[in-house]
Chain A
């Protein structure tokens, strides 16, 4: 019987000592495990970059960036709710820029409020509907950058913070809709006391049956005499929620498609009802 004892003890001790094969500590990161942590400080503001390539942008053409240009901004819109697809928008004190990446679930690394740097060298800049976008080359136009190239061009800085200055949108009114402003989009803005034309209490944001060929339902806001189009995706998490009625304050990104003003809402939490 001795042997039973010995062997049981041996077996048991083996079990006890090795019974934690699947235990892992929560990792602590000194630097983000994603992106290129070598990217240095910004060389240009977003406005400077837009100005530098103004003619390319306005001409709806595309150009590869060959200089060591680095921009820095804070993410103000992304694909978290599914209304924005394969891009995110960063904002600095001078303006906002659309970054196109051919991947889904981008918001995992670029949540709203995340400060990032983009190393622009070798990427493409161009005009999509005359608005600036950084990305890759697609059929001779500016498109989304390859998802495997993307990590080499982005640096994640610190953790996201919703209170930082870049997260404060510029409050705009009808005086904003000038040609000059139109040529410097995108811009992170706040619309106050606006209402959505189609809202009637039951109308949904983007029902399947009303979508166009791009799976989008267009909604409208009028500010003064300016018509602004909200392109709402049927893939958005809130696609089948009712459009809020009454006066609203909305944070979002003002963009253009050629001569049309468009407004990007990336999440319904960016919409607040005005208490009247």
Chain B
């Protein structure tokens, strides 16, 4: 054992040193870098389900639990987060999540809150935003791999899923394979090294079972410059069988993480920096790289489960889940009239010197000189295109000398949550053909939203007022106060300031699912009834909303529900046809339900449930070496509420834009074909070709934080595509295994990747009156067109070897090579700027915001080496 520990430590050291030098040597060559703050592969690379091979599999359960961190919604700055439909039985669904993860693929472009994640039958999704926080189980891949997944039209044993399906992580200590497993990872992604250990006693003679897992992920600098990664994961579980029919289990886990983020930039900034992986978030402080955007997250959680086998036919599972999540992101702040310190602020860019987009325009000498000095500044040194922390500190030190206000600071925006959920389900086998699950989910959540002063950068004085309101109302007005009850409060590091409010959400859901199978016919039906209440409670009296900010908003209650049906006709061993469909009436998310929640108590006007209609059809063919599945789906979502919250340069203020009456349509085709050429060689084809778009113009409500009233304006959303995922994704793969060696390669083609359309730029009030089209002579609205990334190919390969050692020990080595052709021009997503190209008086701006979206690019060539040892 000691030998092993030494060996592990040595290996780790080796990785740390090599990975480290890798990081250091690639610093100068931006094009070699990937996007670590958003993407890594779970270590399922060597664990995937494969039609021809399962020799290499290190783990006990192999299914669709594959994801990239970027897809997981860990990064709030990025609008698109994953909706990963999982299914234990579907090759397409279990493959695409992993294979298309470099492009942050979302199955059917569904938003992540349509996918539910459970643990031991209790729901884990965040009640405010609706989505599961994968950060909660960061680094706990081994401990959370054992899962039951079900699509919309599949029966499951735990809870009813929405259009994005549902999955249930099994965290019972007895359900982990007895033995030990240790693994080491070296890679050049957002972290460079990972160590993980998982051990389980299995169910022992005395009825007890224990499982522990721990991991540590590390990068002093990830592959994207200026990022770091520092994350521990732990999982502890115990279970006791009591008699023949009872079992009590408890699991507690957490993943304290500190990581620095990558920021998006415009193509111009990427061009000036010579890399699509330029990261504007960092800069030098006394020669040391410092990132302004650091996420601290720790979501300690526990689940207690009582399993009761009432008899052979009935099984009751009841779980209580609690978590206290602490999630915060830091961001630079600038006070008073201090200049925007972000290096890629548009005023710093060459194209702000004159209109470079008007090819007919000849710049004046002054403009050209200005353009050139800006360009020279950007390209002369790396420090010039990064944050200047020394400058900011010195400004504060000067202000201190004369008793002045802080100019620059780092704030920390907190989104904490206290949650208690109860899930209970009774599974009944009525007879050979009929099976039912009845269940209940109850949940209560308190979300705590506030910001604290993270670093005053040496400043001695910061007054909690809204700097933007000062010019509008005068310094002596109540309107400028962020908390009128504590006017002109002096803020020290750690103090809460700016905004402070709580969101309370309670929900209850009752469901029943029934499954019938006889002969060629399989039938599934499910129904649920839900109730949701939500309330905002303000802890500050905001000066711009003195009557509407402190205390309770009152409680809004929503009742919803849904029903769905599924049918499978297994005509014979070769042909299967399945059909399914349903309707759901779903409460809006609390996150979207308040107008400017940082300052106000108002519910969105016209808030109501959304309607979801869904239909699916699939055909399965299994003939000899060929298995194929083709499916079609169509989803209509009506009356949605969506909120965008963004820093609006136009209004120089944090701004909320809420849309109501939003209608969307998702439809498309999915296909998976596997052909086994020999028992050790197979080829496969995956295709996802669909569309996902807004189908109407929504009603908008716009309010900035320095304003006391909101403005109503329609938002021209009709035709806007859902963003951050390729709407066309095709893959051709080959798998080969021989004598414990495992080889695979995939060629993936992606296209129709849209970025997040600015709702602000599509406001009727911003678009303005119709213009006369130059070619047709007809009137038309000048609505911006949505930016679309170019299609392209990414090639991946992996090689692995499984070595059986004495006494049942096993060594697995797997090397994953991603983006072998080093395609650095694939956009994974991004967002348009929330500004328009003209000033308030209608005159044109020099800089064209509409031509300069912020973009994220898929990782450059990267590797992931995993060595696993089972003993």
Docked-complex contact B230 and A21, CB < 8 angstroms: yes
Contact bitstring A61-90, B, C-beta under 8 A = 1, else 0 = 000000000000000000111100000000
- B377 at interface, CB cutoff 8 A: yes
Q: Is the CB of A108 within 8 A of B402?
A: no
Known: A21-B258, A104-B339, A108-B407. A14 touches B218 (CB 8 A): yes
Q: A15-B232, A109-B398 are in contact. Are A148 and B288 (CB under 8 A)?
A: no
- Given known contacts A3-B5, A18-B230, A240-B474, is B401 in contact with A160 (CB within 8 Å)? yes
Are B401 and A161 neighbours in the complex by a CB distance under 8 Å? Answer: yes
B375-396 interface bits toward A, Cβ cutoff 8 Å, 1 = contact, 0 = none: 0110000000000111111110
Question: Does chain A have a CB within 8 A of B354?
Answer: no
Contacting pair A237 B471 (CB below 8 A): yes
Our pick among B285, B397, B399, B472 for the contact of A240 (Cβ within 8 Å) is B472
Chain A positions within 8 Å of B397 at CB level: 29, 159
A24-B474 CB under 8 A given contacts A18-B230, A109-B398: no
A8 and B8 alpha carbons, distance in the complex (Å): 12
CA distance A25 to B369 in the complex (A): 39
Is the CB of A10 closer than 8 A to any CB of chain B?
A: yes
Interface string of B197-230 (1 = CB under 8 A from A): 1010000000000001011101010000000101
Complex Cα gap A14–B15 (Å): 14
Is B180 positioned at the interface, with any CB of A under 8 Å from its CB? yes
Bound CA–CA A161/B404 (angstroms): 12
Question: Bound state CA distance, A107 and B405, in angstroms?
Answer: 12
List the B side residues contacting A32 at CB < 8 Å: 394
B222-248 contacts to A, CB under 8 A, are 228, 230, 232
Among the listed A26, A79, A105, which residue makes an inter-chain contact with B393, where contact means beta carbons less than 8 Å apart?
A26
Shortest Cβ distance from A150 into chain B, in angstroms? 11
Contact status A3-B4, CB under 8 Å: yes
A21 touches B228 (CB 8 A): yes
CA distance A212 to B18 in the complex (A): 65
Complex interface: chain A residues within 8 A of B473 (CB): 240
Q: Which residues of B contact A139 (CB under 8 A)?
A: 364, 366
Residue of A whose beta carbon sits closest to that of B220 = A21
- Determine whether A174 belongs to the interface, using a CB cutoff of 8 Å to chain B: no
Among B337, B340, B373, point to the contact of A79 (Cβ < 8 A).
B337
Chain A residues closer than 8 Å to B220, beta-carbon distance: 18, 21
Complex Cα gap A238–B232 (Å)? 50
Name which residue of chain A comes closest to B457, CB basis. Answer: A26
Assess A11 versus B215: contact at CB under 8 Å? Given A21-B230, A238-B475, A240-B471. yes
Contact with B along A132-145 (1 / 0, CB 8 A): 00000111000000
CA distance A21 to B220 in the complex (A): 7
Chain A contacts for B398, CB-based, 8 A: 108-109, 111, 114, 159-160
In the assembled complex, the CB of A115 is this many whole angstroms from the nearest CB of chain B, namely 11
A29 touches B215 (CB 8 A): no
Q: How far is the CA of A26 from the CA of B394 in the complex (A)?
A: 10
Encoded as 1 (CB less than 8 Å from any A CB) or 0, chain B from 456 to 487 comes to: 01100000000000111111100000000000
Q: Are A148 and B374 in contact (CB under 8 A)?
A: yes
| A149 in contact with B373 (CB, 8 Å) | yes
With A33-B391, A79-B337 as given contacts, are A241 and B197 in contact (CB-CB < 8 Å)?
A: no
Bound-state CA distance A8–B236 (Å) is 12
Q: Contact at A137–B393, with CB atoms within 8 Å?
A: no
Smallest Cβ-Cβ distance to A151: which chain B residue: B391
B256 to chain A, nearest CB (A): 8
User: What's the Cα separation between A7 and B364 when bound, in Å?
Assistant: 67
| A64, chain B: closest CB distance, angstroms | 14
A161→B369 CA distance, assembly (Å): 37
Contact partners of A108 in chain B: CB under 8 A: 338-339, 391-392, 395, 398, 407-408
The reply to whether B337 and A27 form a contact with Cβ atoms under 8 Å apart is no
Closest chain B CB from A152 CB (angstroms):
12
Known contacts A3-B4, A24-B290: A19-B258 contact under CB 8 Å: yes
Write out the residue numbers on chain A whose beta carbons fall within 8 Å of the beta carbon of B288.
24
CB-based contact A237/B195 at 8 Å: no
* B-contacting residues, A236-251, CB 8 Å: 236-242
Chain B contacts of A15 at CB under 8 A? 216, 230, 232, 256
Among A8, A18, A27, point to the contact of B285 (Cβ < 8 A). Answer: A27
- In Å, the complex CA distance between A61 and B340 comes to 34
- In the bound complex, how far is the Cα of B139 from the Cα of A11, in angstroms? 12
Residues of chain B in range 518-567 having any CB-CB distance to chain A below 8 Å: none
Contact A7 B197, beta carbon cutoff 8 Å: yes
The interface centre, meaning the residue of B218, B376, B397 with most chain A CB atoms within 10 A of its CB, is B397
Count contacts on B: residues with CB < 8 A to the other chain.
70
Asked, given contacts A21-B258, A24-B290, A237-B337, whether A7 binds B195 with beta carbons under 8 Å apart, the answer is yes
Which B residues are in CB contact (< 8 Å) with A204? Answer: 474
Query: A275 near B: Cβ within 8 Å?
Result: no
CB distance from B600 to the nearest CB of A (A): 22
Picked from B338, B369, B373, the residue with its CB within 8 Å of the CB of A105 is B338
Interface centre among B8, B398, B404, B458 (most CB of A within 10 A): B398
CB distance from B384 to the nearest CB of A (A): 9
Min Cβ gap A73→B in Å is: 16
The answer, yes or no, to whether B336 is at the interface (CB within 8 Å) is yes
Complex: A194 Cα to B262 Cα, angstroms: 56
Among B12, B197, B218, B399, contact of A111 (Cβ-Cβ < 8 Å) = B399
Known: A3-B5, A4-B197, A81-B337. A34 touches B391 (CB 8 A): yes
The answer to whether A237 touches B285, judged by C-beta atoms less than 8 angstroms apart, is no
* Complex CA–CA separation, A14 to B13 (angstroms): 11
- B295 CB to closest chain A CB, in angstroms? 10
Q: How far is the CA of A107 from the CA of B338 in the complex (A)?
A: 7
Is B84 part of the contact surface with A, judged by Cβ < 8 Å? no
CA distance A239 to B337 in the complex (A): 14
Q: Hey, which chain B residues are within 8 Å of A240, CB to CB?
A: 471-474
B370 within 8 A of partner (CB): yes
A134 to B828 alpha-carbon distance, docked (Å): 48
Chain A nearest CB from B391 CB (Å) reads 6
CA distance A238 to B337 in the complex (A): 12
Distance of A34 Cα from B228 Cα, bound (Å): 28
A182 at the interface (CB under 8 A from B): no
- Collect the chain A residues with CB atoms within 8 Å of residue B285's CB: 24, 27
Given A108-B395, A240-B474, decide whether A6 and B5 contact each other with a Cβ distance below 8 A: yes
- The answer to whether B337 and A111 have CB atoms under 8 Å apart is no
Q: Contacts of B359 on A, CB cut-off 8 Å?
A: none
- Inter-chain CA distance A135–B294, complex, in Å, is 40
- Return B847 CB to nearest CB of chain A, in Å: 15
**How many Å lie between the Cα of A11 and that of B294 in the bound state?**
22
Q: Is the C-beta of A274 less than 8 angstroms from some C-beta in chain B?
A: no
Residue of A nearest to B6 (CB): A6
Q: Are A4 and B366 in contact (CB under 8 A)?
A: no
Q: Is B673 an interface position by the 8 A CB rule?
A: no
Chain A CB within 10 A, most for which of B8, B182, B366: B366
Q: Mark A16-39, 1 if CB is under 8 A from B, else 0.
A: 001101101111010011100000
Whole-angstrom distance between the alpha carbons of A7 and B212 in the complex?
Answer: 11
The answer for the CA separation of A204 and B153 in the assembled complex, in Å, is 66
Which residues of A sit under 8 angstroms from B212, Cβ to Cβ? 4, 8
17 additional contacts, CB 8 Å, given A18-B230, A146-B373? Answer: A1-B199, A3-B197, A7-B5, A8-B212, A24-B389, A26-B457, A27-B286, A29-B390, A33-B388, A108-B398, A159-B397, A159-B398, A160-B398, A162-B402, A235-B471, A240-B472, A241-B476
List the 6 closest pairs (A to B, CB-CB), nearest first: A105-B339, A241-B474, A33-B390, A108-B395, A159-B401, A7-B197
Question: What are 11 A-B pairs at a CB distance below 8 A?
Answer: A3-B197, A8-B212, A15-B232, A27-B394, A29-B394, A29-B397, A32-B394, A33-B391, A109-B391, A111-B402, A240-B472
